[in-house]
Amino acid sequence: MLPSEYKIMHDFETNYWWYVALHELIISKINKKSQKILDAGCGTGRLLELLSKHQSEGFDFSEEALEFCKSKGLNNVWLQDINTWQSEPKYDVIISADVICSTGIDDYKSILKNFYQALNLDGILILNLPAFEILRRNHDKAVFVGKRFRLNEIKNSLKDSGFTIKFATYRLFPLFFVILFEKFHQKIFRKTEVKSDLRSIPKFVNAFFLLTNRIENFIFRFVNNPFLGSSVFIVVEKI
Ligand SMILES: C[S@@+](CC[C@H](N)C(=O)[O-])C[C@H]1O[C@@H](n2cnc3c(N)ncnc32)[C@H](O)[C@@H]1O
């Protein structure tokens, strides 16, 4: 990510609807009894803060990101490139949100195999990833998205790594159309500024988007969405 984006992430991740809805969905998939949790590519640390009741830890390859983690009082974080990370089986949950899609990821499939290796039996991996190449825009340049995924593609890679799929869906269905509109708007008006989409919005707009995403999260208790969305969200298990 551009260095300036870490401060933006730190400033937004506590209250901005996008982060709040994602973190609530992730936490809803974690068994309260899970002991050891890893956030692989933890960014500026909000999720680790929320998981502090567990034995949670995280790594990131950005010193800026880790500085923000430390400013939150998180000492369970370390500097690590995910491309070279490996661990013996010791985690009950591994979370990796929007990391293996980054430019600079050498081979995401070998990272999935390393996740598998690092999990205890019955352990779960939770992934969130950007979806659909057609949604690629200036935002992706600012946060260094190298690959946007299709649901079946990542499901197949996870199965090849040995995982059993527990839950797999596209999410942020309405945002798919908003982003598509924004992308063509950027093209037509030749907007080339490389900056993420994160920007201050009025509180009521934030509350409205949060509500729509909470409704979507609630619907995921009953059905998944195999069709469209701006992200893919997957929970897989090592059986
Ligand atoms: C879009 S941010 C997501 C951060 C966090 N997972 C979240 O959901 O808020 C992507 C994060 O992945 C980290 N990252 C990208 N490539 C990495 C790599 N090769 N090794 C470790 N971390 C990496 C970036 O530094 C950044 O913090």
The band of 138, judged by pLDDT with boundaries at 50, 70 and 90, is confident
Domains of the chain: 3-237 (3.40.50.150)
- pLDDT computed for residue 229 by the predictor: 97
Written as one letter, the residue type at 145 is V
Residue 149 backbone dihedrals phi, psi, to 5 degrees = -105, 155
**Ligand 1: does its nearest atom lie under 6 Å from the Cβ of 153?**
no
Mutate-to-test residue for ligand 1 from 4, 99, 140, highest number of ligand atoms within 8 A of CB: 99
The terminus-to-terminus CA distance of the chain in angstroms comes to: 34
Whether ligand 1 lies within 6 angstroms of the CB of 5 is answered as no
Strand-pairing partners, residue 128, are: 97, 233
Look at the pTM and tell me if it is higher than 0.85.
Answer: yes
* C-alpha–C-alpha distance, residues 179 and 234, integer Å: 21
pLDDT digits 0-9 by tens, 173-220: 999 999 999 888 888 877 777 677 788 999 999 999 999 999 999 999
Residue 102 Cβ inside 6 Å of ligand 1? The answer reads: yes
Look at ligand 1, atom 27, and give the residue with the nearest C-alpha.
43
Mean local confidence (pLDDT), 75-88: 98
